[in-house]
């Protein structure tokens, strides 16, 4: 059986990003793997084990503090119980709010958009 495993994001400060996703979104750090010979460290974060959940792989390449994100990547989407409250909580962890909470155009679903400390866009979708 095929299954979507993870999305990899390159980050400039691994602990800052781990804190953002764990403290800001309530994810867990599932595992961390430092590879000195390859000059990188991986940290996997998510809401459950990799065996049954899709997770985010945060990749820190030694000595690289910033990346050009380009224009091809869109965003991650995370379902939350209260978009407005989550948006305010994420502001405290360095999120830049690029779309304030509110209904989607021509719809009723409540969403917001934030950027993580590295500039990756995240859509918050209200889920009950």
Residues with active-site annotation: 123
Residue 76 CA to residue 56 CA, distance in Å, equals 10
Q: Could you tell me how far CA 127 lies from the centroid of its own chain?
A: 17
Which pair of tokens denotes residue 121?
A: 């866009």
User: Left, alpha or beta for 69 (phi > 0: left; psi -120 to 50: alpha)?
Assistant: alpha
Handedness of CA 84, 56, 31, 20 (dihedral sign): negative
Identify whether the C-beta of residue 110 lies closer than 8 Å to the C-beta of residue 100: no
């Amino acid at each position: 059986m095929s299954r979507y495993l993870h999305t990899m994001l390159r980050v400039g400060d691994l602990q800052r990003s781990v804190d953002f996703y764990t403290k800001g979104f309530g994810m867990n750090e599932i595992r961390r793997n430092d590879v000195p010979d390859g000059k990188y460290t991986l940290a996997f974060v998510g809401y459950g084990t990799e065996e049954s959940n899709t997770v985010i792989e945060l990749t820190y390449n030694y000595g690289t503090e910033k990346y050009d994100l380009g224009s091809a990547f869109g965003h991650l989407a995370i379902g939350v119980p209260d978009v407005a409250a989550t948006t305010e909580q994420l502001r405290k962890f360095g999120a830049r709010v690029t779309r304030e909470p509110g209904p989607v155009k021509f719809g009723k679903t409540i969403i917001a958009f934030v950027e993580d400390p590295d500039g990756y866009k995240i859509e918050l979708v209200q889920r009950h």
